[in-house]
Amino acid sequence: MSRPLPVEVLFEDDAILVVDKPAGMMVHPAPGHPDGTLVDALLPRCPALAGVGSAERPGIVHRLDRETSGVMVLAKTQRAYLALRQAFEGHVAVTKTYLAVLHGAPKPAQGTLETLIGRKGWDARRMAVVGPGGDGKRAVTHWTTLQRHDGLALVEFTIETGRTHQIRVHAAHLGHPIVGDALYGDAAADRHRPVPPRRMLLHAVSLAFPHPVTGRPVAFSAYPPDDLIFAR
């Protein structure tokens, strides 16, 4: 018998389930990752998810990368699912805030980056800042540097759009990739840290959106994990 998968539930009512996804956990099954996902962890607790949305992604209205920890909301009813999908896809009153540890600090300490993000050539895994005329989609990221220490910076990111790997791509584009990012980061710099990172240091610290039933604004936060150094 498999052990229960550890996922902290931050809030639950008849319509939504808000959780703190741990780093290293896929949100839903994918090629090479058939089990051990967030969906696997939550279905025993909330069987109603199975009838919401698609069979492969029950209740899922947005995602976090496998190595990203933090706040996620799932829909428990089809009505909630449709309302949340509309809000997230249209970026209607949805605010996503992240904390990341970067190699170095962006200049200025506070700013906004607006670009197009699209697939990078032949590598289907990678996204990149691209020029007009291709498959690029508008991506807007706001950043504020909170702390600096020993060549690293703790940076708060708020995104207006939800493009694949948006913060990771924009951090790298600024010349300050996320520590531990195996796809867009600086592997040599990671290896030479006094304590090399064991994962990508990116955490979804808060999420605000309209409640799918009442329409009222709701907001939830997840305390940064221990490995997100100087984030506490």
Active site residues: 65
Pairing of strands 152-159, 8-12: unpaired
Structure tokens at 174: 């600024």
> Virtual CA dihedral for 94, 86, 38, 77, nearest 10 degrees?
120
Pairing of strands 217-221, 202-210: antiparallel
CB 102, CB 179: distance < 8 Å: yes
- B/e letters for 58-73, b = 16+ CB within 10 Å, e = fewer, are bbbbbbbbbbbbbbbb
Instruction: Give the Cα separation of 15 and 37 in Å (integer).
Output: 21
- B/e letters for 136-159, b = 16+ CB within 10 Å, e = fewer, are bbebbbbbebeeeeeebbbbbbbb
Strand partners, 138: 116
